[in-house]
Structure 1
Amino acid sequence: MKNILLFLVIMVSGLTLAQNEPIKVVFDVTSSNPEVHRTAAKHLRLMAEAYPESEFELVVYSGAFKMVDKKSSVAGETLSTVVNRDNVSIVICEQTMKKHKMTMDDLIPGVGSVPDGIYELVIKQKQGWGYIKEAQ
């Protein structure tokens, strides 16, 4: 019985320590669905708050462009808050911006851009970042 109890204590300790190791996660959002935008913003906020020593990036491209449009974003309030955290970056693909005739002035303040969203995702994964596809 003591051995089982000792094993359980060691397992729980190990899991607790593993949750404190800093991670890097890139979120991929392409959907035009507003519910996906809300959910992705919520996931980003919760992760950034729970793991302040970790890094998170949200990459928006294709049909998701309205997610970071300051005039039409259903997730704008959440993104406006979370983008100011030191461990978060939110970027949109410049090709997507060009296609939808957007400028940096159209974006939620603090949102940046990258030349190509897919390339950004590939580079982050190559650098060892975890990958989350936000979809419904």
Structure 2
Amino acid sequence: MKNYISIIIALIFTGTILAQEKPVKIVFDVTSSNIDVHQSTVRHVKAMSEAYPDSEFEVVMYGGSIDMVLKNKSTVAKDIADLAKNEHITFLICGGTMKRHKIEPSQIINGVSPVPDGILEIVQKQQEGWGYIKEDK
């Protein structure tokens, strides 16, 4: 009986490890102007991309998070530029937010791309089965 229980525990443990190794797809939603949120978002994406290197991560920024991607204002510019070099990590800024704040593409950190609508981008990812994380404090 002991051996049987040991085998079951080993199978459960192995199954848990294998399940965690399966690549995931996660979209991060960032709207906050709070630099702590910007820093925690970068921390989360970096940690998850290291833990799950074959997974896909997309950070969609809009609304109050515009400073997160501006070359002259971002506290995470270097981190974003470095992370954006990873083919599994994408940083996107809402084109509507850029227009509303009169931001030109040249003002945006290298590695960040505009999308026509940040909310629509998130909804489309969710329809495709991506997990969703709202970054907020």
TM-score (norm 2): 0.96
Structure 2 Cα separation of the partners of residues 76 and 49 of structure 1: 19
1:23-68 C-alpha deviation (Å, 9 max, x unpaired): 1100000001000000001111111222121111000000001111
In the alignment, which residue of structure 1 is the partner of 2:100? 99
Q: Is 1:43 the equivalent of 2:44?
A: yes
Q: Pairwise CA RMSD of aligned residues?
A: 0.8
Structure 2 Cα separation of the partners of residues 63 and 50 of structure 1: 29
SS, match of residue 36 in structure 1 = helix
Contact 2:84/2:91 (8 A) holds in 1: yes
Structure 2 Cα separation of the partners of residues 47 and 129 of structure 1: 15
How many residue pairs align between the two structures? 136
Task: Compute the displacement of 1:108 (Å).
Answer: 0.8
Contact 1:42/1:78 (8 A) holds in 2: no
Structure 1 spans left out of the alignment, 5+ residues: none
Structure 2 Cα separation of the partners of residues 53 and 107 of structure 1: 27
Contact 1:28/1:59 (8 A) holds in 2: yes
Q: Is 1:19 the equivalent of 2:20?
A: yes
Structure 2 spans left out of the alignment, 5+ residues: none
SS, match of residue 19 in structure 1 = helix
Structure 1 Cα separation of the partners of residues 70 and 50 of structure 2: 23
Task: Compute the displacement of 1:8 (Å).
Answer: 1.2
Structure 1 segments (4+ residues) deviating >3 Å: none
What does 1:20-99 correspond to in 2, within 5 Å?
A: 20-99=21-100
